[in-house]
Amino acid sequence: MPDLPENAMRSEVAVESENAVRSEDGLPPREDSVLSVRRLAMTLTSRDGVSTEVTADVSLELGRREFVSIVGPSGSGKTTLLRAAAGLRRPTRGEVRFEGQPLADVVPGISVVFQEYNKSLFPWMSIGSNVAMGARRLPKEQRATRVEAALAEVGLTGFASRYPFELSGGMQQRAALARAMVSDPKVLMMDEPFASVDALTRGHLEDVVARLWEHSTCAALLVTHDVGEAVYLSDRVLVLSARPSRVLAEIAVGLPRPRTQRETRQTPRFAELSAEVLDYVEQAGRASGLGSPGAAPAAPG
């Protein structure tokens, strides 16, 4: 593997400098980084011994209070990237640092909500017990009140004794969010948390996440297919190329907060930003359509 220069596309990344920083804390996110992924490469080997280079070279910095989204074509290694960033998988190359320390395993400060809610809640536990799983590292006497508070925050007061199958998909995903937030993490990671709910519920869940994040002190890293959702929620949007993935573009959003579904999505700026992100996503998709699946493209980009 030749030592590649910093991602070629990175140079033409349009960072609107005046919007790049979140207005309320006024800190440049790069200097106050809670999570940093540096030149990460992931090669996965399937059970029958076939190796695939899923991630070629991805770097990202997540500021302490930042909300960053990652979009990219299906199969571009977004989930793989998230797993590595959470300390669940060892990087093949590169490194992940959490609060300045190299990340070798899962840590209490990072919570993850996975793609399929039906797999991420434990179906044999009540909603309360599920949320309490996220609070295992807290002192025993705090747990019950924290679980209750977390359930209240996602609008599930009174559902603690119900079982996941008794709840709708949207409610289950809110419970998964409560479990992730109950430990008051430094970083909340979400892998397409709203992929399997209807559009109306989706909008509602986006606002639940936005509110949770605003009320907390954590940074958020969201993987999504939905360009509008990425722009609506984020401070920055990273677009990944097709597999093996690189960062194709990085778009600063800078829409004022608090945002609302009705108003924010109507603004011309929102439309502009969404179009910009969509352009890159389509570019990534085209590249993957041309290249033969599994084989690395001759030239990146």
Partner 1 sequence: MRATGTLMAPRGRRPVLLLLRRRLGSWLLGLGGLALAALTWQLLSLALASSIFPTFSAAVADAWSIVTGPVLTADLVPSVLRTAVGFSLSGVAGIIIGLAVGYYRLLRELTSALFDFFRSLPTPLLVPVFIVLFGLGGTMVVAVIVTAAIWPVLINTANGTAGLDPTMLDTARVCGLRGPSLLGRVILPAVSPQIFAGLRVAISVSLAVMVVAEILGGSSGIGYFINNAQQAFQITDSYAGILLLCVLGWLFDSLFLLVERRLLAWQRGTVGGEGDA
Q: Which of ligand ATP, partner 1, Mg ion, none sits in contact with 292, Cβ below 5 to 8 A by type?
A: none
Q: Is 187 left (phi over 0), alpha (psi -120 to 50) or beta?
A: beta
Nearer to partner 1, 159 or 280 (CB): 159
Nearer to partner 1, 114 or 280 (CB): 114
Q: Residue 219's CB: how many other CB atoms inside 10 A?
A: 25
Binding mask 109-138 for partner 1 (x = CB under 8 A): -xxx-xxx-xxx-xxxx-------xx-xx-
What DSSP designation does 122 have? -
Q: Which of Mg ion, partner 1, ligand ATP, none sits in contact with 64, Cβ below 5 to 8 A by type?
A: none
Nearer to partner 1, 133 or 278 (CB): 133
- Return the structure tokens found at 301: 């980009």
Binding mask 66-95 for partner 1 (x = CB under 8 A): -----------------x--x-x-------
Contact 203, 263 (CB under 8 A): no
Nearer to partner 1, 37 or 110 (CB): 110
79 binds Mg ion (CB under 5 A): yes
196 binds partner 1 (CB under 8 A): no
Write down the residue that tokens 């108003």 correspond to: 263
Interacting stretch for partner 1, rule CB under 8 A, among 36-44, 102-110, 194-202, 227-235? Answer: 102-110
Contact 227, 277 (CB under 8 A): yes
Rounded distance, CA 231 to CA 229, Å?
5
Contact 92, 43 (CB under 8 A): yes
Interface residue list for ligand ATP (CB under 6 A): 44-46, 52, 54, 72, 74-80, 243
Q: How far is residue 103 from each of residues 35, 50, 180, 222, measured CA to CA in Å?
A: 9, 27, 19, 19
